[in-house]
């Protein structure tokens, strides 16, 4: 692996601390990990937090998800998002991988998720 850098972005009901086990598993594999705190009051503030200097991303100039390869993690045991909704969201991504996990695989399956991230 060469200079892999990952930004872990939490959702509305999570905080950066929820990524601690995953971040530790990734760092154990030599990955540079960033976990910004979001919910700054606006989409622009959250985008700036993810792309702030020091994260190697500069300031936001475009929505990269439309032009950069991305992978959707389909959580097979998710009870928060229906399989149909997950499949619709996955179609926006370049590829999809499945993991037998709950809605929060960074908590329930951190080691397996770290391995998937490193391989992807």
Which position has the token pair 């009051």? 41
Q: What is the pLDDT of residues 24-41, one digit of tens each?
A: 999 999 999 999 887 666
Mean pLDDT, range 8-37, rounded to an integer? 90
Chain-wide mean pLDDT for the chain? Answer: 84
Q: Are 61 and 85 in contact (CB under 8 A)?
A: no
In the chain, where the domains are located: 5-68+105-119
Q: Say if residue 71's pLDDT is above 90.
A: no
Q: Are 99 and 74 in contact (CB under 8 A)?
A: yes
Burial class (CB in 10 A: 0-12, 13-18, 19+), 22: buried
pTM of the model: 0.74
Which position has the token pair 């399989």? 83
Q: Say if residue 101's pLDDT is above 90.
A: yes
């Amino acid at each position: 692996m060469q200079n892999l850098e990952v930004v872990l972005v939490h959702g509305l009901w999570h905080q950066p601390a929820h990524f601690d086990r995953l971040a530790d598993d990734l760092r154990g594999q030599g990955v540079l990990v960033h976990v910004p705190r979001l919910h700054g009051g606006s989409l622009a503030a959250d985008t700036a937090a993810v792309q702030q200097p020091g994260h190697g991303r500069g300031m936001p100039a475009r929505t990269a998800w439309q032009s950069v390869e991305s992978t959707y993690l389909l959580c097979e045991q998710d009870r928060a998002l229906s399989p149909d909704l997950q499949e619709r969201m996955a179609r926006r991504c370049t590829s999809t991988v499945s993991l037998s996990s709950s809605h929060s695989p960074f908590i329930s399956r951190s080691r397996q998720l770290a391995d998937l991230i490193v391989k992807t």
